[in-house]
Amino acid sequence: MSGKLQRVLLASQTKLCLLLPTQWETWQMSEAVKLTLDEIRNLSLTILSGSGYGPDHAAAIADMLVTCQIDDCQSHGLFRLFMCNDTMKAGKIDGNVAPAITQSDNAIVRVDARGGMSLLAFHEALPILIEKTRTLGIAAMAINRCFHFSALWPEVERLSAAGLAAMAMVPSHSWVAPAGGTRGSLGTNPLAFSWPRQGKDPFTFDFATSAFARGEIELYRRAGKPLPDGVAIDKDGNPTNDPQAAMEGAMLTFGSYKGSALSIMIELLAGPLIDDLTSLESMEFAGNSGGAPYHGEILLAFDPGHFSGGRIDPNDARAERLFADITDQGARLPSQRRFAARARNTERGYVEIAKTLYDDLQELAQQI
């Protein structure tokens, strides 16, 4: 990674949505640039088109980047344009291929990304998934042969906005060791869930099953800070607090054997179950090339009306009582910070990003 991108990571660290704010609250963005929502989208489309993505793929990716940027999730916003460009430069992705949806009379929506980014495949198949879920009560989308870099919460929130509960899972590259293991066998393997709430933001979470995000370890390395215990092992399988040794070794799952079991479940559901790659196989496919991992994705959708026998309102009230009991204690529901950022940025019509990031994006736009 270039020195300029190193500065991008450091300048953006208080905004990275995958980081724990209390760990980085003393770090400040030294200088910021204000961008309107249209400017974010236009910059994204310029870089994506210049990198080799066709109009449909560029639009689907730009939608995701704008969504994440509005929510102040810098790690999955404009910063990801560098990965999109690197993925194209690696020579394996098709920036113009149209996804292929297999018609069925069952509850499974199968969409083949055909070697393209996952986002267009999701976008094209989403209406079918919603229709099947409302008809059958439960349905699943299997996205195959896709490159994937994006956050999962925007996808499950598209389903909760339609009144459905939803889950999404993907593998990645085999950077993570199983509990008791000595080398990477598992991916960071995120899991996202969203629950619809009447007249309110949904209950949503999206987290990796690794103890840390890989980018978080990178930030510790660049800041010269030691990792907490229980985050990683070195290349010999020994516990380490050295971020560089962790990058050369393997990350660990959260919760020891519990997180490890959950991560393996995601490998199976988003891999062999849908006839796609595990994180080990994704790493092998990538070889030494850069860019996004290549694998599959599974989404599950549930219709509360079907499952509750039509008793949506009383059961919605039951869920709200639970949420209220949690927040009345002073606890915070997941994504509340993100929703607050969304409301603030939408109202004022712009977002702030690090000037170093903006400058590097402008340079990238001129180079491609």
Does the annotation count 173 as an active-site position? no
The closest alpha carbon to 143, from 97, 194, 109, belongs to 109
Q: What's the rounded Cα separation, in Å, for the pair 274 and 262?
A: 17
Does the annotation count 30 as an active-site position? no
Cα within 13 Å of Cα(351), Cβ side: 26
Contact (Cβ atoms closer than 8 angstroms) between residue 263 and residue 251: no
Does the annotation count 172 as an active-site position? no
Contact (Cβ atoms closer than 8 angstroms) between residue 209 and residue 309: no
Burial of 98 (0-12, 13-18, 19+ CB in 10 A): middle
The one catalytic residue among 155, 157, 216, 352: 216
Residue type, 75: S
The one catalytic residue among 12, 44, 75, 260: 75
Q: What's the rounded Cα separation, in Å, for the pair 11 and 167?
A: 32
Q: What's the rounded Cα separation, in Å, for the pair 240 and 225?
A: 13
Catalytic residues: 75-76, 216
